[in-house]
Amino acid sequence: MNDIENLIPTFDVEDVRADFPILNRKINGMDLVYLDNAATTQKPRHVIDALTRYYEETNANVHRGVHTLSVEATDAYELAREKVAGFINAPRPETVIWTRNTSESLNLVAATWAEEHVAKGDNIVITAMEHHSNIVPWQQLATKKQAELRYIVAGKDGVLELSNISNIIDSNTKIVSMTHVSNVLGTVNPVDELTRRAHQVGAVMLIDAAQSVPHMPVDVQAMDVDFLCFSAHKMLGPTGIGVLYGKYDLLNDMSPFMFGGDMILEVTYEDAKWNDLPYKFEAGTPNIADAIATGAAVDYLNNLGMENIWRHEQELTAYALAQMSALPSLTIIGPKDPTLRGGVISFMHDSIHPHDLGTGLDQLGIAIRTGHHCAMPLVRSYDVVAAARASFYIYNSKHEIDELVNGISETEGYFA
């Protein structure tokens, strides 16, 4: 995968684009160039149809009925879970818990496993490049438990500094919770190495895979991670649905996160017994339609092949880094080496505020993100309060990167 110059994507971007109705939209009279994929991705017809078909043909509540629609809805809902399990190579479908999003998955682990296992004097290790969703739950827990929250810092090159890792992850570490791919720097972190270190000291490893599962092959068994979290909306699926994967024994020993229907086996006026996995963590009527549509998103991604998707994005990223680096007004943050990063490029302009740059590009139909990207401490560490970010996915092309670069130059002219 290193010799990215020689890699030829085995899918045709134009064919892929034809599957995404929104890409036909004009924005301010211009063709849409959608480069805000780290925030959320667009949806192919296949996923939109899965949603519509569910509501038109199958809609019913799951796990509760003997009638045909309820049985069909239950089968489709559970089939989607099996597809997701297969996608990340989870050993059993019941180790895949449906949540609302990555944030909820992270909070679930903090509020259950960590609540029960972290005590005064223990430490929790995260990195300096986490999304707020993977900082704030740990800050809260550390305060409540009088535990220490430790950070693995990153150098200015956007790469984690691991020279003193054995002092950071030590015998008092209970959990390491870190992002696989940074949503700001694009850095692909050495999660295998850090998982081994966490396990050496008896800590569990949680991976925030919001920016990796949609873009590269992820195998939870090969990685040997204990928990892994991601959101469907960042991988062609609908909003409002996400996943927590956990090792069976860990999940089985954990207390429920929420209480209500479906998560119980038996209730008396005095007490209740919890249901088996995965239902113990899925109180109330679940997000049935969006789970099924997530299964459709997984089918779509599998059809393209995750290796191919990763290669396509590496090629786009290398091209974008080269083109954007040629603009003297831009400072790009994150690793210089494209093979160390995913398809996320954050940058600052030397004279145009990111919000103005984003607004100027929007006039040209180009959608990028501007701001702190929900990673305020990290962005501030670059002595700025905001950055611009372009992020790529399966339907993006080199032509669109040219449009971005030309758009930046055109916006410079406007502000000159």
Catalytic residues: 374
Interface with ligand PLP includes 133 (CB under 6 A)?
yes
* 208, 290, 313, 403: which one binds ligand PLP (CB under 6 A): 208
Give CA separation, 47 vs 214, 294, 367, in Å. 15, 7, 22
Cβ proximity to ligand PLP: between 62 and 108 the closer is: 108
* 112, 123, 179, 391: which one binds ligand PLP (CB under 6 A): 179
Closest-CA residue to 245 (of 108, 363, 377):
108
Give CA separation, 250 vs 85, 103, 203, 331, 363, in Å. 17, 19, 12, 44, 50
Q: Identify whether the C-beta of residue 236 lies closer than 8 Å to the C-beta of residue 113.
A: no
CB of 127 to ligand PLP, least distance (A): 11
CB of 374 to ligand PLP, least distance (A): 6
Cβ proximity to ligand PLP: between 177 and 195 the closer is: 177
Within residues 91-110, the interface with ligand PLP by CB under 6 A covers 101-103
Neighbouring CB atoms inside 10 A of 309's CB total: 22
**Taking the mean position of all CA atoms in its chain, how far away is CA 303?**
20
Encoded one letter per residue, x for contact with ligand PLP by CB under 6 A and - for no contact, window 136-155 reads: --------------------
Segment contacting ligand PLP (CB under 6 A): 206-214, 307-315, 333-341, 350-358?
206-214
Decide: helix, strand or coil at residue 121: coil
Interface with ligand PLP includes 41 (CB under 6 A)?
no
Cβ proximity to ligand PLP: between 123 and 189 the closer is: 189
Write the burial class of residue 115 (CB in 10 Å: 0-12 exposed, 13-18 middle, 19+ buried).
Answer: middle
Which residues, in sequence order, are CB contacts of 160 under 8 Å at separation 6+?
127, 129, 152, 153, 154, 187, 189, 190
Q: Is cis: bond before 278, omega within 30 of 0?
A: yes
Segment contacting ligand PLP (CB under 6 A): 25-33, 54-62, 127-135, 264-272?
127-135
CB of 168 to ligand PLP, least distance (A): 20
* 127, 173, 211, 391: which one binds ligand PLP (CB under 6 A): 211
Interface with ligand PLP includes 212 (CB under 6 A)?
no
User: If binding means CB under 6 A, how many residues of this protein chain bind ligand PLP?
Assistant: 14
Decide: helix, strand or coil at residue 62: coil
Segment contacting ligand PLP (CB under 6 A): 189-197, 207-215, 246-254, 390-398?
207-215
Q: Identify whether the C-beta of residue 191 lies closer than 8 Å to the C-beta of residue 207.
A: yes
Interface with ligand PLP includes 391 (CB under 6 A)?
no
Interface with ligand PLP includes 187 (CB under 6 A)?
no
Phi, psi of 234 (to 5 degrees): -90, 5
Give CA separation, 361 vs 27, 121, 356, 400, in Å. 11, 50, 9, 12
Chain residues binding ligand PLP by CB under 6 A are 38, 101-103, 131, 133-134, 179, 183, 208, 210-211, 231, 374
